[in-house]
Amino acid sequence: MRRSMLGRLAVAACSLSLLTAFAPAAVAQADGGGHDRSYKKVGYFTQWGVYGRDFQVQDLEANGSAGKLTHINYAFGNISPQGRCFTGNVPGEADAWADYVRPLDAANSVDGVADTGEQPLAGNFNQLRELKAEHPGLKVLISLGGWSWSTHFSDAALTPASRKAFVESCIDLYIKGNLPQDGARGGAGAAAGVFDGIDLDWEWPGSAGDTDTTHRPEDKQNFTALVKEFRTQLDAYARSQKKKTKYELSAFVPTAPAKIDAGFDVRRIMRDLDFVTLQGYDFHVSGEPRTAQQSALRARGDFSVDGTVDAWLRRGAPANKLVMGMPFYGQGWTGVSGGGDGMGQPATGPAPATWAAGYEDYKALKKLADSGAYTIHRDRRGGHAWLFDGTTLWTYDDPQVLRAKTGYIREHGLGGAMFWSLDADTADGELMT
């Protein structure tokens, strides 16, 4: 059900610079608190995480993450076949119950007060509103699309008329907060003030994404025009409300140079986007026949964070608008043969895991590391880590890797860090810290 990340198989790219981020000065600089607003710390909160994982918005307060974040991206909003933002209770397509209908008791509420049956806004949206009241500088963006819900992006962006109608529908639903009525919940303006902007997670304009996702050669120019339409309408609505600060606009963007070139007119879109979050993970995935790194800082002749940053810089992206994506999960293989430390060896398939084969939350991988059954291996030059027990291998980011990456961000003047996803962290927010 991990709608944004499953199925990404990258195409090769080279990394071009050396890491000095393990230097103590860089690490010390990276360990500051949440007060530097120019340094973005963006965490994805998953709509479905409130179920099996039982990760509520209130847990961000309990584990200390809320005070460290600058942005929460709420994943996800869907797009209808008619090219409109929508919500409702449609299995696999929309979950208004989680978004704004579901009542929460006092123990699971940010403000410690149980929801009532009469209030127009409940669920995750109300909890996000309460969280923002506790942390006035915190921004919440609605993230549109994701891996499974990018199906109709290309159609929505196809013409000037379709773009205008699509953007109007998204602003009406999420920024104006005009939610469909669901019993006592919803209604005009019910969610007003919850969202501070929009995150575009179209995977991918101009190239293949999920099996049912439409893509066209003209997606590149249409995505540029869509970004412009969002910027224009968001700014106009802010002016109409005499809003002192603008609504923010961001996008999640790929690693592969081929995908960048197929779908992104970098210089033009960066004029209208406040920042982009870079795909810094799933460089290799557990469906591949050999084990490999999924999120290395550097990797000669392969995908890497450094190579991704360089690809965007070379195409004209400002460094301070590049926010590096980091995984709070691991990719895993089992049936690994060939000996050694397990990296780069044949495997029989994805490793068994809690929620989906080959995918495991950091909090579970930490338990494996602490159990003594697995050995932690590190490629210090490459800036990545993995666990191996002789048969099963998990490639993941732990605190030591994240400190190195954060040092790299500071050293290269990047815009900050993004995390997928907040529900995978430990109960004390170890990775966020």
**At 197, which helix (H) or strand (E)?**
strand 197-201
130 residue type, one letter: E
CA pair distance 144, 141, nearest whole angstrom:
9
One digit per residue, the tens of pLDDT, for the chain of length 433 reads 344 444 433 333 333 333 333 333 333 333 344 445 689 999 999 999 999 999 999 999 999 999 999 999 999 999 999 999 999 999 999 999 999 999 999 999 999 999 999 999 999 999 999 999 999 999 999 999 999 999 999 999 999 999 999 999 999 999 999 999 999 999 999 999 999 999 999 999 999 999 999 999 999 999 999 999 999 999 999 999 999 999 999 999 999 999 999 999 999 999 999 999 999 999 999 999 999 999 999 999 999 999 999 999 999 999 999 999 999 999 999 999 999 999 999 999 999 999 999 999 999 999 999 999 999 999 999 999 999 999 999 999 999 999 999 999 999 999 999 999 999 999 999 999 9
Select which of 61, 203, 229, 360 is catalytic: 203
- At 240, list the tokens: 């109409």
Task: Decide if 411 is catalytic.
Answer: no
| Residue from 88, 77, 98, 91 nearest 182 by CA | 88
DSSP letter at 346? B
CA pair distance 376, 373, nearest whole angstrom:
10
**CATH T-level topology, domain 24-328+398-424:** TIM Barrel (3.20.20)
The sign one gets for the Cα dihedral 351, 357, 363, 367 is negative
DSSP 217-244: TTHHHHHHHHHHHHHHHHHHHHHHTT-S
Cα dist. 113→106, 122, 144 in Å? 4, 12, 30
- At 235, list the tokens: 């700014």
Cα dist. 186→111, 182, 191, 195 in Å? 20, 6, 8, 15
| Residue from 124, 243, 139, 144 nearest 196 by CA | 139
Q: How many residues does the chain have?
A: 433
The sign one gets for the Cα dihedral 167, 169, 173, 178 is positive
- At 344, list the tokens: 């780069």
What pLDDT is stored for residue 26 in this prediction? 35
What pLDDT is stored for residue 37 in this prediction? 63
CA pair distance 283, 296, nearest whole angstrom:
8
The SS3 call for residue 294 is: coil
Strand 329-334 versus strand 275-278 pairing type: unpaired
Q: Is 37 exposed, middle or buried (0-12, 13-18, 19+ CB in 10 A)?
A: exposed
**At 83, which helix (H) or strand (E)?**
none
> How many H-runs (helices) and E-runs (strands) does the chain carry?
12, 19
